[in-house]
Amino acid sequence: MRTANGEDQAFAYGDDPTLTYLLRRGSRALLRREPLHGWDVDQPIETQWVSGACVAVRREVIEQVGLLDERFQLYFEDNDWCWRIRQTGWKVIYDPRFTVTHLGG
């Protein structure tokens, strides 16, 4: 996923936002000013969630897991969906070979 100016989109995928993850992310931002991980992968990777801005899901997954939870008005609905998908045994894959431009905002 790319930003409007063609850069790799931060937070296109990642780890579940657990307390440990958030503490690691915050400490890196405060102490080293380094991102938690690079966003410029060039091969498909298994991850815990992908951004709902662009996602392809098999029909069998939707039939088994259901749709996104409408109780989430904005943000983290994709994290929740990916968590539910993983709980039923499916994998979540981020594949950088396919790109979209996420205008955001």
88, pLDDT greater than 90:
yes
Instruction: Write the single-letter amino acid at 61.
Output: V
Do the beta carbons of residue 12 and residue 101 sit within 8 Å? no
What average pLDDT does the segment 43-66 reach?
Answer: 93
Mean pLDDT, the chain, rounded, equals 86
How many helices (H) and strands (E) the chain has is answered by 3, 4
Pick 104 or 57 by higher pLDDT. Answer: 57
Distance CA 20, CA 42 (A): 27
pTM: 0.80
Q: How far is CA 3 from the centre of its chain?
A: 15
Residue 33 pLDDT? 65
Q: What per-residue confidence (pLDDT) applies to 40? A: 74
